[in-house]
């Protein structure tokens, strides 16, 4: 095909090749199916401001704000000083900024990326996740589970975190996908952090 049409112009489903601090892998549902979505967080000296970039819609911006509040609450459990969030600005970015992104499914991924940046603990690069987060720390169910799981498998990621209430959606998956995916169902934010964050690099 490349000989006839030339090099591939649009690349997607590009997972990280190694764990990175401040970067978590999410799963998105788009008009053309599922996709892997990297969420990056950069911590800078500042005064506790939150900056969002990457053509994020209103719902995703609200998810980031909720994730930030939960991150402040969980910080001390991960060894982050209570004053750290007041002394740093956090820049949340979702690459491929020309592509509009919205929908209530990125809260848990944003939380993991935020706390990774704050604690210095890398996020597993072989793990993808989806789920919305509440201020109480609950993980809410999301749509497009079949498409998201297939996108992860297509990208070579087999370990997945999905909301507990989405377990009923597995019947939509092809049997081959169910065999290949290792899915952990989570109901609380601390379960996601336990599964996603690696020990701090020395």
Q: Helix 189-196 vs helix 58-75: angle between axes, to the nearest 10 degrees?
A: 80
User: Which has the closest alpha carbon to 133: 106, 158, 114?
Assistant: 106
Q: Is 55 in the active site? A: no
- Rounded CA gap, 146 and 162, in Å? 11
Cross-strand pairs, 188: 138
Per the residue annotation, which of 105, 116, 119, 146 is the catalytic one? 105
Q: Is 148 in the active site? A: yes
Burial status of residue 58 (CB atoms within 10 A of its CB: 0-12, 13-18, 19 or more): exposed
DSSP secondary structure of 73-114: HHHGGGT--TTGGGSEEEEEE-S-TTS-B--TT-HHHHHHHH
Per the residue annotation, which of 101, 116, 146, 148 is the catalytic one? 148
CA distances for 68 relative to 98, 137, 185, angstroms: 24, 12, 22
User: Which has the closest alpha carbon to 110: 147, 153, 56, 152?
Assistant: 56
CB neighbours of residue 45 within 10 Å: 7
Burial status of residue 138 (CB atoms within 10 A of its CB: 0-12, 13-18, 19 or more): middle
Catalytic residues: 105, 148
């Amino acid at each position: 095909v490349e000989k006839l049409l030339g090099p591939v112009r649009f690349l997607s489903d590009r997972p990280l090749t190694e764990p990175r601090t401040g970067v978590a892998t999410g799963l998105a549902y788009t008009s053309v199916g599922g996709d892997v979505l990297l969420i990056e967080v950069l911590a800078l000296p500042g005064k506790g401001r939150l900056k969002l970039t990457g053509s994020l819609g209103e719902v995703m911006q609200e998810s980031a704000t909720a994730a930030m509040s939960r991150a402040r609450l969980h910080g001390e459990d991960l060894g982050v000083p209570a004053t750290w969030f007041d002394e740093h600005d956090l820049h949340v970015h979702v690459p491929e900024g020309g592509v509009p992104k919205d929908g209530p499914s990125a809260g848990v991924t944003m939380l993991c990326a935020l706390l990774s940046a704050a604690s210095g603990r890398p996020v597993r690069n072989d793990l993808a996740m989806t789920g919305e987060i509440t201020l109480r720390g609950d993980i809410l169910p999301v749509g497009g589970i079949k498409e998201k799981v297939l996108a992860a498998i297509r990208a070579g990621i087999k370990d997945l975190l999905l909301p507990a209430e989405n377990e009923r959606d597995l019947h939509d998956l092809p049997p081959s996908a169910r065999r290949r995916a290792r899915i952990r169902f989570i109901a609380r934010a601390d379960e996601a952090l336990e599964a996603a964050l690696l020990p701090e690099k020395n």
